Each structure stands twice: as structure tokens, then as C-alpha cells.
Chains A and B, each alone.
Chain A
Amino acid sequence: QLQLRESGPRLVKPSETLSLTCNVSGGSVSSNYYWGWIRQPPGKGLEWIGSIYYSGSTYYNPSLKSRVTISVDTSENLFSLKMKSATAADTALYYCARMGAEYTRYTWFASWGQGTLVTVSS
């Protein structure tokens, strides 16, 4: 059974880089699916951050594109998120997910990690 687990620092200082990793088990990040990051500020709705294919092909939400980098490590079976110049507005639950249909980035989010709360504060 596919499992995703987010990990990384829970507290980030303003202006620093937020870094998270999604470890994938029970499946391969090299499969024919895109993998994505979504966030949810406390008490608010969901926002797609970006997605990546095992080949390294990425696409991002334009609202975050200038600050975000998503990468994949097929040897470690994980993918990662880096968001630079963090502010309090980036405080959120961050989820990683496997997308639903093969070969396409235009698809739903089929399997989700449990999420990790990242707080941006000095």
C-alpha cells in the first residue's frame, strides 16, 4: 500500500528557506505518476504548490513559482520542496501527494501524506 510521509523542520525563521521531504514507500517515485505538494493554512482551504514527474519535469502555481523548487531523488524514492524567503503567510500544513492518472499533470490527488505543520516565526 502506497504511503507518503512528510518530514522537515517544523519551525522556520522569516526570510529563510522552508525545506520539506516526502518519503514514498509501498510504491516507486519513478512510476508514471506526477507527485505534488499542497498546503493548508490553519483553519483555511487547500492550495496547490507544484508537481513533479520522475524525469524532473516540474510545474508550479504561478503565485508561488518565483520562490519554489521541487526536486525528485529516484535513488532515495523521495521528492522535496524548497520555498525561499519564507514569511508568516507560509505557515501551513504541508501535504505531499501522488497524483491520480498516469502520464498527465492534469489530474486529481489520489493519495496523501498525513501532512506536517510548518510555522514561520522568529
Chain B
Amino acid sequence: EIVLTQSPGTLSLSPGERATLSCRASQSVRSTYLAWYQQRPGQAPRLLIHDVSSRATGTPDRFSGSGSGTDFTLTISRLEPEDFAEYYCQQYGDSPLTFGQGTKLESK
């Protein structure tokens, strides 16, 4: 099973700042099979990015994804108030499909 470790656990930033979230895999993720989700309190997760760097329909272009192998990054170029939420990475290259434990992005 591929274990995904996200860091930091909590990230405290202000609106307008740049956020960098990390997702590290215990073994290489096959191809580009990594996605990112945003989950606001009381809501279901929402797909942001798939295939490492492809934005889902409706994802603002301030969100970008990068990485390969075992190290992946979600970057939010300029934080908007609605971006403060929990973020999860997910690999789908191997079974079982697995998620990271999440990064909470909170407003400073």
C-alpha cells in the first residue's frame, strides 16, 4: 500500500499570501496518478486537480500542482478567503487507492 504523508499538518497564512502544500509517497506513484481535493467544513471533498497538474472544471488558476515520483506539491498563488480549508492528496496508480492525512490551511 502506498502511504501518502502530507506536510505541514497545519499551515497558517494570510489572504494574498502564497501557500505550498506537500504530499510525499512511500513509493513512487505510477505515471501521473495523483489528485488533490479541497474540503471545507461540513462539505464533501471537491476535486481540484488530477493527473498531478490538470485543473478540474471550475478550479481557479491560482491553484497549481506539480511533482513526480514520490514528491508532489499543491501551490495556491494568492490566497483568497474561501481557500482556507482542508486539503487532501490521493494516489490512484495502485490499489488500494489511498489518501494523505490532510493539511489544514488556516487564516492567520
Contact = CB atoms under 8 A, between A and B. Distances in A.
Interface of A: 45-48, 59, 61-63, 95, 100, 105-115
Contacts of B100: 45
Interface of B: 1, 30, 33, 35, 37, 43-47, 50, 56, 88, 90, 92-102
B90 A45 contact: no
B50 A45 contact: no
A111 B56 CA distance: 11
Contacts of B1: 62
A105 B33 CA distance: 12
A45 B96 contact: no
A-B interface, 3 closest residue pairs, ranked by CB to CB distance from nearest: A108-B35, A112-B44, A46-B99
Contact of A46 (B43, B45, B56): B45
A7 to B, nearest CB: 15
B47 to A, nearest CB: 6
Contact of B44 (A61, A108, A113): A113
A48 B2 CA distance: 13
A110 B56 contact: yes
A95 B88 contact: no
15 contacts: A45-B88, A46-B37, A46-B45, A48-B96, A48-B98, A61-B96, A62-B1, A100-B50, A106-B95, A107-B92, A108-B47, A108-B50, A110-B56, A113-B44, A114-B43
Contact of B99 (A45, A105, A106): A45
